[in-house]
Structure 1
Amino acid sequence: MSDADRLVVVSDDPRYDPERLRESLGCRVEPADLSTPEALRTNAADADAVVVNVGSTVPRSVIEELDLTVVARGAVGLDGINVSAAAEHGVQVIHVPDYCLEEVADHAVGLFTALARGIPAYADRAAAGDWDWQPPYPIGRLADCTVGVVSFGPIARRFADRVLPLVDDVLVADPYVDDAVIREHDAEPVGFDALCRRADHLSVHAPLTEETRGMVDEDAFDALPPHAVVVNTGRGGVVDEEALATALADGSVAAAGLDVLAAEPPAADHSLFGRDDVLVTPHAGWYSAAAERDLNDAIAGDLARAFRGEEPRGLVDPDADWL
């Protein structure tokens, strides 16, 4: 098949640049709604490859029905994509694991430090004419605190490197990373339960898998101290959001900063909205102009490699432990 005959259907998510993909690949590139399995079946019926968004679900049934060679996602996480079914049907799954490492690490540090100092609540007070320094929730000294990091991939390692000069100690829970690697970042490897018992604050960077779904739950919040800030820039489903809302309401933890939620976009009446102890951003941690450019270049490059019969740099191993 010639390049001109191929069809790539790309999600109408604004992070993707169809014109850039078209110029790079020399084939037909059509934007379309790919947000649901039904939309995939309808809008990618003739596609050779699809580029789906973060929230798209690509189940076994879609992989079996469509005649795809590649499923690509412009993100690190693969939740919702049936990678094993794709492998069974000869469909390559591609992700982009390294385009926004600096940005997400910076975002996590920003959420953590802002909330640990009570800045969003103080700013809201001042804007409302309430000139009051009294803390909105328990606030400790950053230099005296211990930060617990859940999962220790490339983003979490950058977060740890950034936050360590600000705090007393960093603990890491990740059973898939060698202790020696964790210690190379001047952090202490511990189990998840011990991390929750010993940490003052928690930063979650885990991918969403059956093992991690809901792992930051009521028990975890009960183990944390009442001044704890909980940050999640990994995947929304890793944190039990209802348990978090309850923990905030009863004072088990102090504040939460979330760039990811279990359902995106969330309902307007989500239980974590409208609180001065919660800071929610719209899955924007990945963004910078440079990251957006790198994302589209990486997808275009890997699609081109796949079409040439070469191994894409972001090819997903269906047997990887973290899936």
Structure 2
Amino acid sequence: MGVACVDDRHKILITDYVWPSTDPEREVLAELDAEVIEADSGDEDRLTELAADVTGILTCFAKVTESVVRASPRLRVVGRYGVGTDNIDVDTCTSLDIPVTYVPDYGYEEVADHAMALLMAQARGISVLDRSVRTGAWTNQPARPMHRMRGRVLGILGYGRIGFALAQRAIPHGLQILVHDPYITADRVADIGAELVDKDRLVTESDFISVHAPLTPETHHTIGEPELRAMKSTAYIINTARGPLIDEYALARAIDQGWIAGAGIDVLEQEPPPPNHPLIGLDRAI
């Protein structure tokens, strides 16, 4: 795609990154003789300032807002280091014919590992028993009730690469798999012996629920008080996707009041969470 401008040299803004350096990016972009700009702040005003006259943006967690997108008439692409694009104003990009790219297979095996680890830690009471021993107690009472995993039901909410990878890990442990995803058909899950069901059935019948949906306006708080009250009192919920998929304050009430048994949470609505976040003080929340 050509770029019509007085200075035809590409300028790429890297908003943020969590690895040691951007040397690999610079090596690739050097083939285009591109200028690379590393943001010194994720603040919207600063990113808007730095984005002026860029032809591309690479972002990890920083928010690429409408202001940032519109800052440069030369902008031709926004790329995300990762799977989700909820930190990018995709609607504005679409209206300006600016493609938004992402890495669909980024870390999906590792996220599935993490979800399975949280599930097993809750199923076996690892965290509560560890805390019990560290405080001088020697009893398995804090981890009760504890059930054999084989024959239990895992509900997977969202069946992309990560959901599928989790199912592959869960089946050897004898878990039965229910899947809810409005964008797939039953034959997609039949090959591994899973069953495609509606959301209500997944919520009410699952002993474990693992959330793997993308964050969109439609999926915001897809697990809220109604769903938590409908779950089994012995069930656990796992979230390694996006924090806002679950109403955290309803989740804290659900655990505290015994609507459900506990949760394994890798992502939160606000990161880092405030010191008084209600989930932090709950023994049955990892």
> TM-score scaled by structure 1?
0.81
Structure 1 vs Structure 2: percent identity of aligned residues?
Answer: 36
Partner of 1:212: 219
2:207 to 197, 200, 210: 200
Residues in 1 aligned to 2:238 and 2:223: alpha-carbon distance in whole angstroms: 11
For the aligned residues, what is the CA RMSD? 2.0
Contact residue 146 and residue 167 of structure 1 kept, 8 A: no
1:187 to 160, 172, 194: 194
Q: Matched residue pairs, number? A: 278
1:25 to 25, 29, 40: 29
2:93 to 75, 82, 86: 86
Contact residue 53 and residue 71 of structure 2 kept, 8 A: no
Deviates more, 1:261-270 or 1:243-252: 261-270
Residues in 2 aligned to 1:16 and 1:167: alpha-carbon distance in whole angstroms: 40
1:60 to 63, 66, 82: 66
Partner of 2:157: 150
User: What's the secondary structure of 1:135's corresponding residue?
Assistant: helix
Offset, 1:60: 2.8
Offset, 1:32: 1.2
Offset, 1:118: 0.7
Deviates more, 1:205-214 or 1:134-143: 134-143
Contact residue 202 and residue 230 of structure 1 kept, 8 A: yes
Higher RCO (C-alpha 8 Å, min separation 6): 1
Q: Which one has a bigger Cα radius of gyration?
A: 2
Offset, 1:273: 0.9
Residues in 2 aligned to 1:90 and 1:28: alpha-carbon distance in whole angstroms: 23
Per-residue CA shift, 1:107-137, capped at 9, x if unaligned? 1000100111110111122122221121335
Offset, 1:194: 0.9
Partner of 2:238: 231
Residues in 1 aligned to 2:185 and 2:176: alpha-carbon distance in whole angstroms: 19
Partner of 2:45: 38
Residues in 2 aligned to 1:168 and 1:81: alpha-carbon distance in whole angstroms: 36
Deviates more, 1:81-90 or 1:226-235: 81-90
Deviates more, 1:258-267 or 1:94-103: 258-267
Matches of residues 1-323 of structure 1 in structure 2 within 5 Å?
5-15=9-19, 17-26=21-30, 27-33=34-40, 35-54=42-61, 56-67=62-73, 68-279=75-286
Residues in 2 aligned to 1:108 and 1:233: alpha-carbon distance in whole angstroms: 6
Gapped regions of structure 2 (runs ≥ 5): none
Deviates more, 1:249-258 or 1:29-38: 29-38
